[in-house]
Structure 1
Amino acid sequence: MTDTKKVKIFLVDDDALFLKSLEIDFLDNADFIVETFPTGEMCLANLAHNPDIVILDYQLDGIVANAMNGLETLDKVKEFNPEIPVVMLSSQDKIEVAINCMHHKAFDYVVKSETAFVRLQKIITSIFKYQKMEKELNWYMDRM
């Protein structure tokens, strides 16, 4: 990722107030392109926009009856492109939920709170450090 390219983030949450608040935080505090979606289905329909990161609510049950939940959406994102890092969000502070998300190949899990945005910023930084190290390692391994 070059410094001139803005990071594209998909925010997916059925809680309109939380979604708007998170969008404003990202737009005010860093150089991001943000696309927001209230359902997993809408997120999936727009994956061709090639997000760098997807931040996805675990529940997603507040807008459309029988809508995809966060884990189903996570699985479909990974089917589309397993390299897209997905960070799961939930108001549930349960280790079982976090472990379940990790089993579905989420990069990380964040509990919704007043500090969620700060955690997400740190996770995004970690994602890009990890990706850079992985590229360097692959480059090195290709030359052996």
Structure 2
Amino acid sequence: MKIESKIKLFLVDDDAVFLKSLEIQFMEQGDFEIETYATGELCLQNLNKKPDIVVLDYHLDGVVKNAINGLQTLDKIKNTNGGIPVIMLSSQDRIEIAVTCMHHKAFDYVVKSETAFVRLQKVISTIFKYQKMEKELSWYMDRM
């Protein structure tokens, strides 16, 4: 994980209880600067704050009628800044949804459950390991 500063994490979910629970769990870790949003639109409006990672609910249909869903939000994030890793969340444990999210360039897909937080921690750790390897590879390739 980042040593020099806290990880800026956007949590986007229309389930207020689940969102608050995730926020508290990440805040207890101390390595995170958290911003929470109940809609994809609010997340997109704040992308200029340059999150390191976005954790995004698949549905996002519980707060505002006609709000964009998680997949549409994912597409817009990737069109704005394709380098932001997005982890999709859903209460649906269906392989078709996970595959669809991956086709839309999500970094990973996590099912909402009692172990979701632990899984998110592992995925975030993997993201930073992957980014470190990319930087090292780029450094080596520049020298050839």
Q: TM class, shorter-chain normalised? A: over 0.9
- Separation in 1 of the partners of 2:2 and 2:92? 35
* 2:3 paired residue number: 3
* 2:82 paired residue number: 82
Structure 2 unaligned regions, length at least 5:
none
User: Match of 1:34, SS?
Assistant: strand
* 2:128 paired residue number: 128
Structure 1 unaligned regions, length at least 5:
none
* 1:35-114 equivalences in 2 (<5 Å): 35-114=35-114
Could you list the structure 1 runs, at least 4 aligned residues long, displaced by more than 2 angstroms after superposition. none
- Separation in 2 of the partners of 1:32 and 1:59? 25
The TM-score with structure 1 as length reference comes to: 0.98
**Pair 1:29-2:29 in alignment:** yes
* 1:118 paired residue number: 118
- Separation in 1 of the partners of 2:78 and 2:8? 17
- Separation in 2 of the partners of 1:136 and 1:93? 35
How well do the aligned residues superpose, as a CA RMSD in angstroms?
0.9
Letter matched to residue 40 of structure 1: G
Number of equivalences? 144
* Change in CA separation of 1:2 and 1:17 when aligned onto 2, cut-off 3 Å: closer
The TM-score with structure 2 as length reference comes to: 0.98
Deviations 1:61-88 (A, max 9, x none): 0011110000000001011110000000
